[in-house]
Amino acid sequence: MTKKPRQVPSGYEFLQGVHELDERVDRLKEETSDGGEGHEEELRQLERERDEVLASLVDHLTAYQRVKLARHPHRPQARDYIKAIFEDFVELHGDHRFGDDKAIITGFARIDGRPIMLVAQHKGRDTKEKMAYNFGMPNPEGYRKALAKMELAEKFRLPVVCMIDTLGAAPGLGAEERGQAMAIAENIWRMSGLRTPIVILITGEGCSGGALGIGIGDRFAMMENAYYSVISPEGCAAILWRSGEMADRAAEAMKLTAQDMLSRGIIDEIVREPLGGAQRDPEAAAASVKDYLVRVLDELTTADGDIDELLEKRYQRYRRLGEFQKV
């Protein structure tokens, strides 16, 4: 898992105060480990001060700051979670039509001994990896690959775990020529009737049709600093005010945070992150994700086993979404 950063990335100046306290704590720990004495109480006091600053920061995060945390370059991604919480992962490739889209990772896995089918979006870290994974923006073949593997899970009666982290589906001409809209629509339709349990978790960004293409299920959760929206705040601001600099205002208006989604009944649960964000302690973040997945998989797979009842509940879940007024 990626360790927390040694410097504040550009655009994350709101974390500067915490970063400075982290550096002071690290220096004191190094001095203590090198045989220095008399720093224990100072270290405990400094750690308490840092935790208080972190708690205050978390309590006052704006919607756009949470979006920034969802995009943090050191935030855990799909392959980090695969290494940390899944066993016996066997990756499956290709859509049997065009090619293999790396932006969506699929494969058999176990979590705490439970066999599952994993479908996860991955963005990449450095420039080379981001290019290889298309910055986590899937093409039609990615959604078709995901559907083919979910249908395989249905055949073998394996629950499906979908981990969402994307700025959106690939917007290029090639994707449109190969049927991007149809691929996403087909996944939504097919997942609504897939005869096996489906668990959805947004780990970072859950944006537009890119998220919807693997986002229909029986349990739906978001990590504490994830977001879920029809468009990015920058895209919304560009449309409404013709300026991406209004993204913070757009984020507030869009009600896209996990807290907003929970209050509106769109998700079932928020998966807690380490204080200050998953990027500060990826191992603890992975443990939270594992605890959530194991619990809900047990709930879904130890029920009475009536798939028709499961599908009816899934149908009613989405029928309840939204609000309307009679005029």
pLDDT at 118: 98
- The confidence score (pLDDT) of residue 47 equals 86
Is residue 5 assigned to a domain?
A: no
Whether residue 289 is predicted with pLDDT greater than 90 in this model: the reply is yes
Evaluate whether residue 12 is within a structural domain. Answer: no
Confidence check: pLDDT of 282 > 60: yes
The residue whose two tokens read 């991955």 is 122
- In this prediction, residue 36 carries a pLDDT of 55
**Are the CB atoms for 184 and 216 separated by under 8 Å?**
no
Is 326 among the domain residues? no
pLDDT given for residue 180 in this prediction: 96
Q: Work out the average pLDDT over 129-154.
A: 97
Let me know whether 90 and 29 are in one domain. Answer: no
| 6: confidence class by pLDDT, cuts 50, 70, 90 | low
Q: Among 254, 317, 244, which residue's Cα sits nearest to residue 62?
A: 254
- Render pLDDT for 72-107 as a digit per residue (tens, 0 to 9): 999 999 999 999 999 999 999 999 999 999 999 999
40 & 114 share domain: no
Judge if pTM exceeds 0.85. Answer: yes
Is 24's pLDDT higher than 70? yes
Listed residue (133, 74, 68, 114) closest to 285, CA to CA: 74
Please check whether residues 51 and 178 belong to one and the same domain. Answer: no
- Domain identity same for 114 and 44: no
The domain in which residue 91 lies consists of: 68-319
**Residue 125: CATH number of its domain:** 3.90.226.10
Please spell the DSSP secondary structure of 147-206, one letter per residue: HHHHHHHHHTT--EEEEEEES-S--SHHHHHTTHHHHHHHHHHHHHT-SS-EEEEEEEEE
Q: Pick from 30, 60, 90: which residue ends a domain?
A: 60
The reply to whether 217 and 260 lie within a common domain is yes
- Does 294 or 23 have the greater pLDDT score? 294
Is the same domain home to 39 and 135?
A: no
Is the same domain home to 55 and 137?
no
Q: Is the pLDDT of residue 32 over 80?
A: no
Q: Please check whether residue 79 lies inside any domain of the structure.
A: yes
Q: Are residues 138 and 93 in the same domain?
A: yes
Q: Give yes or no: residues 170 and 300 share one domain.
A: yes
Mean pLDDT of 226-244: 95
User: Residues of 91-125 as b/e, b for ≥16 C-beta within 10 angstroms?
Assistant: ebeebeebeebbbbbbbbbebeebebbbbbbbbbe
Q: Average of pLDDT values for 315-326? A: 87
Indicate the average pLDDT of the chain: 92
Radius of gyration of the chain measured on its C-alpha atoms: 21
Residues 25, 86: one domain? no
Q: How far is CA 225 from CA 70, 238, 268, in A?
A: 6, 23, 15
| pLDDT above 70: residue 54 | yes
Task: Examine residue 94 and state whether it is found in any structural domain, yes or no.
Answer: yes
Lowest mean pLDDT among 12-16, 142-146, 262-266: 12-16
Give the total number of structural domains in the chain: 2
Tell me which residue has tokens 């790396």: 102
Report yes or no on 33 lying in a domain: yes
- Say what the alpha-carbon torsion angle 88, 104, 82, 61 is, to the nearest 10 degrees: -160
pLDDT for 305 beyond 90: no
pLDDT of residue 303: 59
Q: Is residue 3 part of a domain?
A: no
The confidence score (pLDDT) of residue 11 equals 85
pLDDT of residue 108: 98
Q: Pick the more confident residue, 326 or 70.
A: 70
Domain end marker among 60, 83, 110:
60
Judgement on whether residues 114 and 254 belong to the same structural domain of the protein: yes
Which region, left, alpha or beta, applies to residue 22 given φ > 0 means left and ψ of -120 to 50 means alpha? alpha
Residue 29 lies in a domain: yes
pLDDT of 261 higher than 90: yes
State whether 160 and 284 are in the same domain.
yes
